[in-house]
């Protein structure tokens, strides 16, 4: 009997719950923007960086009075075997995949099922109808469910490698290879009818994707074929294959990628698209000849970049807001720098998604095109026909672009054309391979680009690295011995953590990665330092007035917040010396002193009023009382100001164009980051029903615009004292 699922209504219901619990904002909850096929709402918004998945599951579990399912690693095999139980013989694995659920226990009168979305009632009813029993649900992490189903699919692919070895003695003629190549469209994990070598290739791909690998390395050695994967920047062994199967597996993958299987002397490049339980993935293949055979490296890319954003990359709001400001301008170049594998491409694509608004013309030159984006013209580099970065850039400047993205500045010609493009009003995005933000200036100068052109063209430089985040399950405080070993760095180690490894993180101690960012904004002081050909240190010092931190300083912040360890920082950033950490301590102390001094003098009020004359009068009154005032003219600009600045109180008009005060109140109270900011409303309407409506909606106080100035100030101080 076939079972059906209808998940849209369930997704809508769960998104509403997440909004009610304050886990996501009203804007995030727009269902039309939610790609429901690959992820349940909790997993999707966790990937977007809105919250931690486990914390959201705990809150939803409590709100809905549904138990949370979190098995030990040792129970995974039992869960996998349960999918084969006779009770579920009429339910295909594809259905469990689609509804993101697994059975976890069978009782006499009911079935216990773990689900990623406990509000998908339609699928639950279909299960009950098919099974003839009551279904009791528990909520679980989506990745746990995928792991169980993936393990089952992987076990369905079991085969005897020895039998493949015996078959490999038979010559693979052209007809046999053609039959293999015809299966390109069926690269799925549960293809049991495929030839053994095809299933072996599928297993390599699916296991790599399941482990979250960014790269697959297929390395020929003297007596074997070694297959490793790179997970969170670290190489891990995956599989060892007998030497006799080397030609078969390499030929299979080359055929899928459109490579010439007869050419073994020259490097080749190709692409494959596969479907797995983790969604559709694009594989980028590169081969080079070595002493023991063809070495193959496969980059694993997600074909769906809808999840890509500054928030999902783990970029701090302080950095993302400043970067967004840089992207909103023109006549400047924004550079992202770092070594290979530091996340530069992801940041560039996230930037493109931010500036893509349908009102501008965006053109890119890339080598290769890693993600295809709707609404953007993307041009691949093709050296065979003379389409280099420089030539492509010259061509697209004749295409009336507003925003230009050049994959990488590799030579003087590309750098010079990119700089000149900013002089004609274009916003240019690109990358450089340098170790720090200031080093990008030195690198551009090394490419013989004049300092005056660098100074006038540069807008912002973002240097970045990726560090592994500590496993939430096994991270712990440093012990006394570990603190003593790190005492030479003179850091505050009270909040620093490490991890010993556990079953949940494969005994590694880390799970996932987060970005370390160093943003250097180029203002007039920095521009003058560049024109004077100052050292990198002088340029960095000039940028500190705008909040510049080095990579080392940003990384230390992550250790102090318990997100990563000092050992991981040393591995990625380099050795931490007392000199480097002293610089961080001085910077942090200066910020603390400055902040403390400012707190004694001024508190910030966001003033929202559409009448410019009233804004002038009230701002003068507030500034006289030693308040810092941020002026905005309507609710929309107020929300943007809150995104960019901190406010201790919001003083707001009620009737305004574009977004009224009542609408702004609703938006602010629905978002966790702003809902606790006190709001005092100014209005010409002093009717009791208006005041009652505002108070019920979440306003803290209400006062007439015609009230005496001292009364208005008293109300403001009263609210500020109430919240501390």
402-412 pLDDT, tens digit per residue, is: 999 999 998 99
Question: The domain 157-302: what is its CATH number?
Answer: 3.30.450.90
Does the pLDDT at position 509 exceed 60?
Answer: yes
Hey, where are the domains in the chain? 8-145, 157-302, 317-593, 602-723
Token digits of residue 11: 């997704």
Say yes or no to pLDDT of 27 above 80. Answer: no
Least confident of 243-247, 316-320, 660-664: 660-664
pLDDT in tens, 609-648: 988 888 888 888 898 888 889 998 888 888 878 877 788 9
Output the CA angle 515-46-549, nearest 5 degrees.
20
pLDDT beyond 50 at 237: yes
pTM: 0.64
CB 310 within 8 A of CB 323: yes
Specify whether domain 317-593 bears CATH 3.30.470.20. no
pLDDT single digits (tens) 63-118: 888 899 888 666 766 787 788 787 787 788 878 888 888 888 888 888 899 999 89
* Torsion angle of C-alpha atoms 536, 541, 544, 549, degrees rounded to 10: 50
Q: Which is nearest to 111 in space by CA: 123, 94, 95, 128?
A: 128
Residues 324, 648: Cα–Cα separation, whole Å: 23
- Please check the confidence at residue 172 and state whether its pLDDT lies above 80: no
- With H, G, I as helix, E, B as strand and everything else as coil, classify residue 515: strand
Residue 221 buriedness (CB in 10 A; 0-12 / 13-18 / 19+): middle
pLDDT at 291 over 90: yes
CA-CA distances (angstroms) from residue 137 to 93, 105, 280, 692, 721? 18, 11, 28, 42, 47
Distant-in-sequence, close-in-space partners of 697: CB < 8 Å, separation ≥ 6: 662, 665, 666, 669
Does the pLDDT of residue 170 top 50, yes or no? no
Question: Is the bond leading into 207 cis (omega within 30 degrees of zero)?
Answer: no
Whether the per-residue pLDDT at 203 is higher than 90: the answer is: no
In this predicted structure, what is the pLDDT of residue 512? 87
Q: Do domains 8-145 and 317-593 have the same CATH topology?
A: no
Lowest mean pLDDT among 78-82, 138-142, 394-398: 78-82
Q: Give the long-range contacts of residues 222-231, CB within 8 A, separation 24 or more.
A: 222/292, 225/249, 225/293
* DSSP-assigned states of every residue in 668-701: HHHSTTTTTS-EEEEES---HHHHHHHHHHT-SE
Average pLDDT over residues 650-670: 85
Pick the CATH number of 8-145 from 1.20.1370.10, 3.20.20.370, 3.40.50.1010, 3.30.300.160: 3.30.300.160
**pLDDT number for residue 465:** 96
The pLDDT, as a whole number, for residue 686 is 58
**pLDDT confidence of residue 518:** 96
In this structure, the dihedral spanned by the alpha carbons of residues 417, 423, 424 and 430, taken in order and rounded to 10 degrees, is 50
Task: Please tell me the predicted confidence (pLDDT) of residue 404.
Answer: 95
Which of the four CATH numbers 3.40.50.2300, 1.10.150.20, 3.40.50.720, 3.40.50.620 does domain 602-723 have? Answer: 3.40.50.2300
Handedness of CA 151, 155, 156, 158 (dihedral sign): positive
Residue 400, SS3 per DSSP: coil
Query: What integer pLDDT is reported at residue 458 of this predicted model?
Result: 95
Band of pLDDT at residue 605, cut at 50, 70 and 90? very high
pLDDT bucket at 13, cuts 50 / 70 / 90: confident
Report the C-alpha gap between 82 and 105 in whole angstroms.
8
Q: How confident is the model at residue 206 (pLDDT cuts 50, 70, 90)?
A: confident
pLDDT exceeds cutoff 60 at 375: yes
Q: What is the mean pLDDT of residues 388-397?
A: 89
Q: How confident is the model at residue 689 (pLDDT cuts 50, 70, 90)?
A: low
- Total Cβ atoms within 10 A of residue 346: 19
Task: Return left, alpha or beta for 293; rule: phi > 0 is left, psi -120 to 50 is alpha, else beta.
Answer: left
Contacts 24+ apart (CB under 8 A), 192-199: 192/156, 192/157, 196/159, 196/163, 196/164, 196/167, 197/164, 197/167, 197/245, 197/248, 197/249, 197/252, 198/252, 199/157, 199/159
Q: What is the DSSP letter of 186?
A: G
Assess contact for 49 and 309: CB atoms under 8 A: yes
Mean pLDDT of the chain: 82
Tokens representing residue 429 in the block: 């995005």
Give the mean pLDDT of 678-690.
74
User: Which of 60-64, 215-219, 256-260, 338-342 holds the top average pLDDT?
Assistant: 215-219
pLDDT band at 159 (very low <50, low <70, confident <90, very high): very low
pLDDT at 190 over 70: no
Q: Any idea which of 321-335, 349-363, 520-534, 647-661 has the lowest mean pLDDT?
A: 647-661
Mean pLDDT of 127-147: 86
pLDDT of residue 181: 40
Q: How many CA atoms lie within 13 A of 490 on its CB side?
A: 10
């Amino acid at each position: 009997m076939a079972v059906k699922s209808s998940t849209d209504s369930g997704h809508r219901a769960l998104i509403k719950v997440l909004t009610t619990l304050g886990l996501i904002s009203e804007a995030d909850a727009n269902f039309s923007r939610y790609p429901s096929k690959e992820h349940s709402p909790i997993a999707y918004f966790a990937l977007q960086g809105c919250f931690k998945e486990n914390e959201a599951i705990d809150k939803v579990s409590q709100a809905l009075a549904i138990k949370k399912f979190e098995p030990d690693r040792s129970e995974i095999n039992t869960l996998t075997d349960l999918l084969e139980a006779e009770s579920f013989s009429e339910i295909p694995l594809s259905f469990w995949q689609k509804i993101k659920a697994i059975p976890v226990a069978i009782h006499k009168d009911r079935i216990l099922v773990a689900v990623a979305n406990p509000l998908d009632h339609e699928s639950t009813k279909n299960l009950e109808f098919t099974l003839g029993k009551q279904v009791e649900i528990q909520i679980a992490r989506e990745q746990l469910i995928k792991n169980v189903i993936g393990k089952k699919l992987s076990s369905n692919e079991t085969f005897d490698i020895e039998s493949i070895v015996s078959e490999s003695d038979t010559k693979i003629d052209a007809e046999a290879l053609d039959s293999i190549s015809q299966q390109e469209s069926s690269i799925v994990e549960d293809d049991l009818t495929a030839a053994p070598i095809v299933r072996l290739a599928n297993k390599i791909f699916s296991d790599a994707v399941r482990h979250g690998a960014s790269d697959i390395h297929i390395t020929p050695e003297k007596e074997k074929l070694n297959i490793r994967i790179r997970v969170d920047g670290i190489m891990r062994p995956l599989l060892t294959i007998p030497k006799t199967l080397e030609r078969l597996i390499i030929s299979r993958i080359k055929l899928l990628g459109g490579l010439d299987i007869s050419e073994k002397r020259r490097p080749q490049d190709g692409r494959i698209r596969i479907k797995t339980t983790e969604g559709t993935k694009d594989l980028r293949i590169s081969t080079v000849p070595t002493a023991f055979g063809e070495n193959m490296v496969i980059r694993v890319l997600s074909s769906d970049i809808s999840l890509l954003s500054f928030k999902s990359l783990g970029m701090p709001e302080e950095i993302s807001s400043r970067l967004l400001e840089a992207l909103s301008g023109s006549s400047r170049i924004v550079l992202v720098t770092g070594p290979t594998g530091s996340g530069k491409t992801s940041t560039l694509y996230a930037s493109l998604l931010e500036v893509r608004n349908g009102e501008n013309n965006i053109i890119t030159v890339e080598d290769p095109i890693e993600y295809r984006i709707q609404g953007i013209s993307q041009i691949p580099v093709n050296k065979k026909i003379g389409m280099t970065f420089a030539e492509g850039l010259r061509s697209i400047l004749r295409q009336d672009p507003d925003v230009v993205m050049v994959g990488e500045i590799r030579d003087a010609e590309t750098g010079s054309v990119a700089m000149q493009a900013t002089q004609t009003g274009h916003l240019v995005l690109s990358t450089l391979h340098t170790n720090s933000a200031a080093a990008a200036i030195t690198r551009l100068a090394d490419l013989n680009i004049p300092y005056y052109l660098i100074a006038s063209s540069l807008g912002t430089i973002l240097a970045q690295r990726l560090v592994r985040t500590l496993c939430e399950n096994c991270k712990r405080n440093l012990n006394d011995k570990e603190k003593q070993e790190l005492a030479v760095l003179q850091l505050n180690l009270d909040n620093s953590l490490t991890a010993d490894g556990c079953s949940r993180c494969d005994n590694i101690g880390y799970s996932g990665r987060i970005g370390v960012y160093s943003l250097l904004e180029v203002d007039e002081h920095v521009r003058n330092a560049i024109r004077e050909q100052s050292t990198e240190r002088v340029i960095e010092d000039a940028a500190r007035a705008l909040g510049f931190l080095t990579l080392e300083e940003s990384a230390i912040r992550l250790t102090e917040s318990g997100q990563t360890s000092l050992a991981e920082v040393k591995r990625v950033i380099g050795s931490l010396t007392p000199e480097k950490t002293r610089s961080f301590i001085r910077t942090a102390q200066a910020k603390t002193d400055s902040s403390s001094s400012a707190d004694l003098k001024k508190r910030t009020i966001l003033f929202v009023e559409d009448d410019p004359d009233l804004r002038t009068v009230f701002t003068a009154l507030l500034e006289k009382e030693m308040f810092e005032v941020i002026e905005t003219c309507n609710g929309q600009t107020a929300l943007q100001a809150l995104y960019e600045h901190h406010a201790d109180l919001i003083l707001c008009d009620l009737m305004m164009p574009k977004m009224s005060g009542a609408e702004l109140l609703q938006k602010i109270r629905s978002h966790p980051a702003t809902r606790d900011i006190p709001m005092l409303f100014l209005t010409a309407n002093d009717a009791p029903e208006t005041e009652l409506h505002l108070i019920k909606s979440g306003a803290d106080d209400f006062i007439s615009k015609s009230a005496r100035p001292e009364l208005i100030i008293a109300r403001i101080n009263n609210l500020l004292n109430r919240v501390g």
